[in-house]
Amino acid sequence: MFSLDLFSEQIASLSDPREASLARTRLGFLSQIKNKRDFKLRVQLTQKVIRLNLWPAAIDTLRPVLQEFMESGAQVKFQWMYQSLEERVKRDLTPLLAEISTDWKTDVIKYLEEVS
């Protein structure tokens, strides 16, 4: 199992094309895994302040790797967590990887309301 945790600052940096390119390069080693069928991959985006405008860069950067693993039969979990001093909310976003559209904010808000 490989687990990748991205926090608000890291997610924000992915909006810079150079940082996004560097992140894709760093994630490239995952493509070298030969037997993806039995592999477990978990990616979690953690935010202390909910900023949906940071999600597109993170999703665009991570989607190719996550989809490669999903298509190869790996167990993929893509989740988001909001954590404050008083509250902790965790949601599975894996279904959104295939469905997310250009109107992604509406999709995300609708999805989060459905699973809450």
Q: pLDDT tens, 30-62? A: 888 888 998 999 999 999 888 888 888 888 888
Residue 99 has a pLDDT of 65
* Domains defined for the chain, CATH in brackets: 2-115 (3.40.1350)
Residue 98 has a pLDDT of 67
Strand partners for 91: 80
Decide: residue 49, CB within 10 A, 0-12 exposed, 13-18 middle, 19+ buried. exposed
Contact at 8 Å (CB) between 42 and 1?
yes
**Distance of alpha carbon 49 from alpha carbon 8, whole angstroms:** 8
Helix axes 104-115, 55-71, angle to 10 degrees: 70
Query: What does the pLDDT look like over 56-113, one tens digit per residue?
Result: 888 888 888 888 999 999 999 999 999 888 889 898 888 877 666 666 667 777 777 7
